[in-house]
Chain A
């Protein structure tokens, strides 16, 4: 409880909207560049590292809600729980120092991606009939074709994209942390030991 109070300082509250905006805008650019990734949780992971897992979770949760309510990607809102889990897990990896080395960041990203796939699959299967409405559905089709059920096929689709996506996200955050002045990192609840 006390650490939570320390994590939620004004700097954290100021950072969260900026982080959500980074999520949304970078996500849109990736989509516009037709890169087959999402990269829509860079802000979430950054908050998780600098202000802890709970702040990261809140960022992920609200990110999906804002995106959904904006009307731009209405179907993101039901995945708010996934956004929260990504922030939470990233924060836990930061707590044990996995953002201090590039290969640990990559590994942390892969594991976070697997967890994200695991949580998305039931939501996707129940709410969206197991499809994403995007190019990655080719993977779903393949797994359905070889006899997988809706839930396993949806999970397989997640596994085919999420770990790579989150590994790249984590490495981008690793690079950002290195580009920030120490003086600036000091301002955040967990910034001082972040890298």
Chain B
């Protein structure tokens, strides 16, 4: 059986031991900061001086760095090429044939790349260090509808099975000589016989799965409890409040800068 569709990596670290909502608040704060920090270099600083050390503390610096760069690189290439060379009115600093590289465009590309890097970094930090089930249970305990937890947790367990099923169907089609490479039309034609069994097969199982859930009182209204106990501390509760306030203040500050 393949692992759930999640990045969570078990480690003995202070970051892993945090209450999931503390990590969530921290990441939300960093996410807002990534969006609102002014200037070109601030997001890089956020990534290098905050996110990367946190990933190091969480015991996952290598994969964190690799996945961040993997996600950001295509954007960076597009940004520097497109906004660098096609920046309407600007100060040319280098001519390449009919095109010229504009310094304003480069600055914009650098700023955007930094922002993407910081955003990607904050999401990755959450995914790497927070058990998805703990996060969902924590949210349910705070009044988020428990059906949301059901959806998120079931999804990450279903996806790997679907991936395996899809690969099996693809292989079967290839062995029957159906083209999955070659011209675009051919590749598109390979699609329907693939999607159909995948979708229809799973849809027919859903009836039984719904009944099984009903048997387990899934549809019962009223208070629900949970087996899992999440360790929490007064200091973490305070930290969460402060982080949420800080995030709100940062967002408000940025809006004030825009409007006044």
Residues of A bordering B, CB below 8 Å: 8-11, 13-18, 20-22, 24-26, 28-30, 33-36, 39, 42, 46, 58, 62, 65-66, 68-75, 77-78, 126-134, 137, 140-141, 144-145, 147, 149-150, 172, 175-176, 179-180, 184, 187
Q: Is the CB of A13 within 8 A of B213?
A: yes
Q: Is the CB of B203 within 8 A of A18?
A: yes
List the A residue with the shortest CB-CB distance to B78.
A131
Q: Is the CB of B204 within 8 A of A28?
A: no
Residues of B bordering A, CB below 8 Å: 5-7, 35, 67, 71, 73-75, 77-79, 81-83, 85-88, 108-109, 111-113, 115-116, 119-120, 123-124, 126-128, 132, 147-148, 150-152, 154-156, 158-159, 161-163, 166, 170, 180, 184, 187-188, 190-192, 194-196, 198-200, 202-204, 206-207, 209-210, 213-214, 218-219
Q: Is the CB of B74 within 8 A of A133?
A: yes
Contact of A145 with B86 at beta-carbon distance under 8 Å, contacts A17-B158, A129-B113 already known: yes
List the A residue with the shortest CB-CB distance to B67.
A71
Chain B residues with CB under 8 A of A15: 203, 206
Docked Cα-Cα span, A133 to B113, in Å, equals: 11
Residue of B78, B180, B188, B210 near A132 (CB, 8 A) is B78
Docked Cα-Cα span, A145 to B85, in Å, equals: 8
From A30, A72, A74, A133, name the one whose CB has the most chain B CB atoms within 10 angstroms: A74
Residue of B120, B124, B191, B198 near A25 (CB, 8 A) is B198
20 additional contacts (CB under 8 A) given A25-B198, A131-B79, A179-B200: A10-B219, A21-B158, A22-B199, A25-B159, A25-B163, A29-B166, A33-B187, A35-B184, A46-B199, A62-B151, A66-B159, A69-B7, A70-B6, A127-B35, A127-B115, A128-B112, A141-B81, A144-B87, A150-B108, A172-B192
